[in-house]
Structure 1
Amino acid sequence: MSATFKMPTSRVVENAKQTSESVLSDASSAVKTAAENPKRATADLLHTPFMRAALPFINGGIAGMTATTVIQPVDMIKVRLQLAGEGVKTGPKPTPVTVFRDIVASGKVLDLYTGLSAGILRQAVYTTARLGFFDTFMKRLTISAESKGQKIGFKERAGAGLAAGGLAAVVGNPADLALIRMQSDGLKPVAQRANYTSVIDALTRISKNEGVLRLWAGCYPTVVRAMALNFGQLAFFSEAKNQLKGTSLSSRSQTLTASAVAGFFASFFSLPFDFVKTRLQKQTRAPDGTLPYKGMFDCFKQVAKDEGLLRFYRGFGTYYVRIAPHAMVTLIVADYLGFITK
């Protein structure tokens, strides 16, 4: 009985020993191969199924965060322009220059980077999702079209852009709201300012004081704005790049030109919704618990009545300067990252 018991045990020990030696040998071999040929090791990792699925999202997030770091001061000026003269049709009309001068005069040049942490978090969530979803949708649409002997057209690109933008906007709304709150805080009287120290501080205090659901304030116009922006940016970028393929322009020039075209259409389609989103996310409850706007349609109605229809396009030049370079940097970085991680 004792011998019967010992035989399986010795075999288990022997098998375990052989398995551990095999694992160690494989690991040692992998490390040696990576040391001798790091390019091959990296290529092998990049071509695993998990990494192929994750790369569009990773590249999109890196591209978006890079662009936001560059464009943040312009975004700050854009938000201040949208909030100036709220509820008043006449009066002083601020310009990007006057807004820039006021910000610098009242504090420091670094105040132009207020909310950068929220902006980076937003890109890490929103742009990661929208570019990742768009790339994923486009690949599936391309495979489906090719199986039928067809090519995807503008309609498919537009649909992929709209869907990717809407899905990503829902996920990124809390960070977007925190960004608006941080950027608009300086417009309030000193005694009423929240003085958020970071995006985490803003999200925590808003959740605690106003409820977790408040983090999705303005979600509806944010989704519509994201869909409009993505329709203009991704669909027109993809279409313009496709149209420019047969020209004498270099690959880099084609990307730059397509990005500029995409930036214009993204600005044109999304600015009214961006304007309303900013107004809704900035508002806080009065002592009696009421809010200035009941929702997206009420905000459209009040602004059109009290401030005029053209108010929705106030700061279009600044918005384009914010959107176009952001789109260009994002798309160029994403394009480059996609190229080197093929």
Structure 2
Amino acid sequence: MTSGQVNQSSAVPQQFKLLPKIINGGIAGIIGVSVVFPLDLVKTRLQNQVIGPKGEKMYSSMLDCFKKTYKTEGYFGMYKGSGVNILLITPEKAIKLTANDMFRHYLSTGPGEPLPLVREMLAGGSAGACQIIITTPMELLKIQMQDAGRVAAAAKSEGKTIPKISAWSLTTDLFRKRGILGLYQGTGATALRDVTFSVIYFPLFARLNDLGPKREDGSSVFWCSFLAGCVAGSSAALFVNPFDVIKTRLQAINKAPGEPTYNGVLDCIGKTLKNEGPTAFFKGGACRMIVIAPLFGIAQTVYYLGVAEYLMGLK
């Protein structure tokens, strides 16, 4: 029984091996994040920028954001915040992918039986809820690092200076002022995004993956898992983009001069609608789809290659 058979098919295997799945999920997350991180940085900056009273904005498009970031901050500027993301993406992706497999296993109606859609959605949503313990602080720290260049540039245009920050200094500062809860700012919005995403993503991936060709042992061909992950990931990403915009803005601690502050999810929704209109909730939507598609395509492919099983002599 290969690692791919749990998610690649609506059928659920009789045995569930936890350790190799955790290792595969971690490897998948590191590779995926390393490939798409510059796109994720652009997405964060586009979502956080607020249009001025005369329609002025720092970035006119995804490409414009790429150009300006590269010009002012260089190649490594595109990877600001990647350290903390790569460090925490291992447990985050391991929890997400492994928890979905585990819940699918225990929600099975019987050996070899297809998992009903409602149970697939329940398994996916439960997996999304499990990852929040890692995702929230990871996203909080990553967003500060990714958005630092935009905030500094906006402050400079106003004749002000923003001190440089690091993930470690930010972590210690938050911990000193608010304790462990300081790292969980925006938890509600993170849950809203991740649970909804997982409810959509995992059942859609399983069904798309089932449509592709199978190898002799019943597992899916790697390119089929990749394409299924891309399509399911980008579709779910577009659907939850409004939640991602809200989460990103709530977790932005350092604001550019003149940018509003928010008191929770409802306050953020209200002020965003009032100041920028409904289209603001789809800022960075195309960029997020481009980020999530290869991220989950790569993650699912690596996860199902069974690297850990091979290294551990399980296959």
Q: Which amino acid aligns with 2:223?
A: S
Give 1:269 deviation, angstroms.
2.2
Question: For structure 1, which segment, 212-221 or 231-240, has the greater mean C-alpha deviation from structure 2 after superposition?
Answer: 231-240
Alignment pair present for 1:227 and 2:195: yes
Distance in 1 separating the partners of 2:247 and 2:221: 36
Distance in 1 separating the partners of 2:128 and 2:231: 18
Q: Which amino acid aligns with 1:331?
A: Q
Q: TM-score, normalised by structure 1?
A: 0.75
Give 1:126 deviation, angstroms.
1.6
Give 1:196 deviation, angstroms.
2.8
Show the counterpart of 1:208. Answer: 176
The match for 2:137 among 174, 186, 192 is 174
Q: Which is higher, the Rg of structure 1 or of structure 2?
A: 1
User: 1:284–1:210: structure 2 CA closer, same or farther, 3 Å change rule?
Assistant: farther
Show the counterpart of 2:7. Answer: none
User: 1:88–1:53: structure 2 CA closer, same or farther, 3 Å change rule?
Assistant: farther
Show the counterpart of 2:30. Answer: 65
Residues 91-102 of structure 1 correspond to what in structure 2 (within 5 A)? 91-92=56-57, 94-102=60-68
Q: TM-score, normalised by structure 2?
A: 0.81
Distance in 2 separating the partners of 1:89 and 1:296: 27
Show the counterpart of 2:223. Answer: 253
Show the counterpart of 2:48. Answer: 83
Show the counterpart of 2:11. Answer: none
Q: Which amino acid aligns with 2:278?
A: L
Alignment pair present for 1:277 and 2:247: yes
Alignment pair present for 1:146 and 2:110: yes
Q: Which consecutive unaligned segments of at least 5 residues does structure 1 have?
A: 1-50
Q: Which amino acid aligns with 2:270?
A: K
Show the counterpart of 2:92. Answer: 126
Report the secondary structure of 1:195's partner residue. Answer: coil
User: 1:73–1:120: structure 2 CA closer, same or farther, 3 Å change rule?
Assistant: same
Show the counterpart of 2:13. Answer: none
User: 1:256–1:124: structure 2 CA closer, same or farther, 3 Å change rule?
Assistant: closer
Distance in 1 separating the partners of 2:39 and 2:195: 22
Show the counterpart of 1:113. Answer: 79
Give 1:72 deviation, angstroms.
0.7
Give 1:281 deviation, angstroms.
0.4
Q: Relative CO higher for 1 or 2, CA cutoff 8 Å, sep ≥ 6?
A: 2
Distance in 2 separating the partners of 1:182 and 1:86: 21
Moved runs in structure 1, 4+ residues, more than 4 A?
Answer: 86-89
User: 1:304–1:240: structure 2 CA closer, same or farther, 3 Å change rule?
Assistant: same
Q: Which consecutive unaligned segments of at least 5 residues does structure 2 have?
A: 1-15, 215-219
Q: Would you say the 8 A contact 1:129–1:164 is kept in 2?
A: yes
Distance in 2 separating the partners of 1:316 and 1:162: 22
Give 1:217 deviation, angstroms.
0.5
Q: Would you say the 8 A contact 2:88–2:134 is kept in 1?
A: no
Show the counterpart of 2:9. Answer: none
Please give the per-residue CA displacement for 1:160-192, whole angstroms capped at 9, x wherever unaligned: 111101121133311210001111122233665
Q: Would you say the 8 A contact 1:89–1:306 is kept in 2?
A: no
Show the counterpart of 1:293. Answer: 262
Q: Which amino acid aligns with 1:275?
A: V
Q: Which amino acid aligns with 1:311?
A: A
Report the secondary structure of 1:207's partner residue. Answer: helix
Give 1:276 deviation, angstroms.
0.6
Alignment pair present for 1:337 and 2:299: no
The match for 2:296 among 318, 322, 327 is 327
Please give the per-residue CA displacement for 1:287-307, whole angstroms capped at 9, x wherever unaligned: xxxx81110111011111110
